[in-house]
Amino acid sequence: MRSAELKGEIVRAIVAAMLHLFMVVIALAMPLLAFAEAERPVIVGPWRQIAGDPDLGAFTAPRQQPVDFAIWQAADGTWQLWSCIRGTKCGGKTRLFHRWQGAKLTDTNWTPGGIAMQADVAAGETEGGLQAPFVFRIEGEYALFYGDWEHICSARSADGKQFTRTLDNGNKPALFGEAAGANTRDPMVIRVGTAWHCYYTAHPANKGAVYCRTSQDLRSWSESRIVAVGGAAGLGPYSAECPFVVQRGAGDLYLFRTQRYGTNAQTSVYHSRDPLDFGINNDTGHLVCTLPVAAPEIFTAEGLNWIAALSPGLKGIQLARLAWKSK
């Protein structure tokens, strides 16, 4: 081979090697760049209590606790709150839904409205197994998604107050679930792109993870996919509870994932531009921060951002302003 040709081959090999190295560096840096660009949610307070420990009549128990909940505005403009009350005397898994109503979002101590829903054993729901309501508006109606201890179920309402279960051909409200005994629960539904995404949690083999299924019509759902698991939040059965996803900007998604309730409450916040990947046993490029709250619901109302969460003593629901700040 002539000397000039040999030199040319060497130069081309060096250029190709440098280009490959450059591409590898870019690929490794992309998650870190996304992490650097992510915003950080900040609670700006003060907290105000909007719901307390309700009187359930014959089902009232001294150690009952209002836990996972939903907040929305009904057709008449009033604000509605449903919470799962656990540790009651209703039997079975001890859980049912209780309602409150507020004339204004910023009112404190909304008016209790009594028991909103109990498990329908005849329809296949687990006795006392209702968990984590979530409500959103669609095409002039209100959709309620909730857990029955083993499945995710749904109901509909015209006014945002009175809900009727949506049943399949077998008169069952269950839409889907993970393995038996995995305690499929805590649904949250959001439209991302052209599909509805239902995020929820389950803990088969006592390993908690955030799952997602997609749908075009809110009735037929895809197979499940794990979208967040492990990392600093852990792998325990309660390490991925109450998933809540917020869209901000062009394609920026934030997953709020709770690990602990009570005075040491903790929710980890993850960023992604892929609605099906918030970090699988890997926090790099995803974990933004942790917040000292449990079971948060994040929404926009009256032109402001809000966060609602469980009170530290697990005897009510509280509300505060939320800000998003650049890191």
DSSP secondary structure code for residue 320 in this structure: E
Name the pLDDT band for 45 (thresholds 50, 70, 90). Answer: confident
**Structure tokens, 67:** 């836990």
Evaluate if residue 267 carries a pLDDT over 60.
Answer: yes
User: From CA 243, how far away is CA 298, in angstroms rounded?
Assistant: 11
Helix (H, G, I), strand (E, B) or coil at 271: strand
Residues sharing a CB contact under 8 Å with residue 115, sequence separation 6 or more, in sequence order: 56, 59, 96, 97, 98, 99
Largest CA distance in the chain: 97
Name the pLDDT band for 14 (thresholds 50, 70, 90). Answer: low
Segment (H or E) for 37 = helix 3-37
User: From CA 313, how far away is CA 191, in angstroms rounded?
Assistant: 33
Name the pLDDT band for 260 (thresholds 50, 70, 90). Answer: very high
- Sheet with 96-102: list strands edge to edge: 65-73, 79-86, 96-102, 111-117
Give the pLDDT mean for 73-100: 98
**Structure tokens, 316:** 């009510």
Q: What is the per-residue pLDDT for 2?
A: 57
Q: What is the per-residue pLDDT for 244?
A: 98
Q: Per DSSP, what are the bridge partners of residue 48?
A: 319
Q: What is the per-residue pLDDT for 249?
A: 84
Q: What is the per-residue pLDDT for 156?
A: 98
Q: Does the CA dihedral 121-83-53-242 come out positive or negative? A: positive
Give the pLDDT mean for 228-256: 96
Q: Does the CA dihedral 126-203-174-308 come out positive or negative? A: positive
